[in-house]
Structure 1
């Protein structure tokens, strides 16, 4: 079961970078992110109203924790990914840079959560890091002056944001149910991205159908599939 979940997670999570690339040419990153989460948040809130039993054990402290986790793992992480692609960093390179996250999480899992990484896992992580470094350097050299050098640091900020959210969730003494946590995360992102888009004057969605295709793609595959499976696997298997 864990193998199947992991395979599904990799496919769904990776699809998010394709969706970001599809939407990058139709609207500003803040617009795409706003309309990705506002309808989703409304649906999840409506579902929550019909399943109040799942929310009964949620304390205010845990709810606050989930708001922060959502702000880091969704808002901070996704904004950096979309902004990097908007700056010209290829979606493939952005995905690879964010792929360093397991290495950073593995290095910190021992001292923070007492979850230690095996030698075989470390070998795989370091091989992955070598691949990320190789592709990123080659992509930066090929892009030349078209992409600012500092743009390649933007995905790293998002990766660190996701790492922080992962450990904050891992240290929770009584984590919320997955559907409860997902609802809080998406509502948090909807509020933050709506405020950002409104502040930039980019709240109105474009009329192109490609924008809504990209939005639907991002809601179904990366959010429910990738993001939901991320937390499920984290709880089942640890860091």
Structure 2
């Protein structure tokens, strides 16, 4: 997931509403990474992502058909290619990195750099120029990610190519987001587009799961808990809070809440899975957040 710019309507009047919604967003956003790490103990990422996307799409399908504009074939097909990039490549890429035991917090950190990548790609592809301050902030943020990455290389056992998969999936999603802008055929209500995206992902993840041995789910309590976690919290609750905040709050505040996800993910992973933490990882994280703030402020 990433931040898509929507017009904010108004800042919430209640002083408690924004902090509560921000906390819910951080928890639900980070739960996507932690949920995959948890469910991966029971099944391969292709199998667990097949069931996550299939269940999400089936639940959304009756609402997509009953509410909103009629889903015409041309509009659906226009959404399919973005579903390939946003769900299969992006979601599958960072899930594969987690399966290879890259620290879950680092995966969250790299995945949440999509807005910065979009800003950088918008200049050569769309002619939207960045200011010197934004380029400086982007460079600082990338430096922070490299600090965390190099430290995790010394602490973890993940193969080097898995780090490239994480970065590549993030860049692929950013490229798809840039190319998506301005295409009227892609303007569809959220529940309808998310339905198409998840069902597209289900088809592709299903093919991968079949190639690895089948799509039958493990009949264990842990897998069921992981699926409930990923579908109800990391998908439906997360998207609901996310889009509600975008309608009520300035986009910069929503972005700030999302960038708190990586440290929360690191702490969750340390508590639940005993993944390593180090001072250097938190220093690199702080550098990254500073660069993000410099790029996005104002």
For Structure 1 versus Structure 2, the TM-score category normalised by the shorter chain is: 0.7 to 0.9
Deviations 1:182-211 (A, max 9, x none): 111111111111222122213111122111
Q: Is the 8 A contact 2:55 2:231 kept in 1?
A: no
Measured after TM superposition, the shift of residue 9 of structure 1 is: 4.5
Tell me the residue number matched to 2:255.
none
Is 2:215 the partner of 1:203? yes
**SS class of match (2:219):** coil
Map residues 53-64 of structure 1 onto 2, 5 A cutoff: 54-56=68-70, 58-64=71-77
Alpha-carbon distance in 2 for matches of 1:2, 1:110: 30
Measured after TM superposition, the shift of residue 50 of structure 1 is: 2.7
Tell me the residue number matched to 2:87.
74
Match of 1:26 among 42, 59, 74: 42
Indicate the structure with greater helix content: 1
Measured after TM superposition, the shift of residue 134 of structure 1 is: 0.6
- Range with bigger deviation, 202-211 or 28-37: 202-211
Tell me the residue number matched to 1:176.
188
Tell me the residue number matched to 1:50.
66
Tell me the residue number matched to 2:54.
38
Match of 1:152 among 157, 163, 178: 163
Deviations 1:119-175 (A, max 9, x none): 5555544433222111110000222xx322222111112102211231233231241
For normalisation by structure 1, the TM-score amounts to 0.83
Alpha-carbon distance in 1 for matches of 2:191, 2:131: 31
Alpha-carbon distance in 2 for matches of 1:66, 1:113: 20
**SS class of match (2:184):** coil
Alpha-carbon distance in 2 for matches of 1:47, 1:153: 37
Match of 1:166 among 157, 177, 183: 177
Q: Is the 8 A contact 2:86 2:173 kept in 1?
A: yes
Alpha-carbon distance in 2 for matches of 1:231, 1:73: 21
- Range with bigger deviation, 224-233 or 190-199: 224-233
For normalisation by structure 2, the TM-score amounts to 0.68
- CA 1:13/1:91 → structure 2, altered by over 3 Å: closer, same or farther? same
Q: Is the 8 A contact 2:107 2:166 kept in 1?
A: yes
Deviations 1:64-123 (A, max 9, x none): 221011110011111111111111211111112223322211112234345555555555
Match of 1:93 among 106, 110, 113: 106
Measured after TM superposition, the shift of residue 220 of structure 1 is: 2.1
Unpaired segments ≥5 residues, structure 2: 1-9, 13-17, 253-295
Q: CA RMSD in A?
A: 3.0
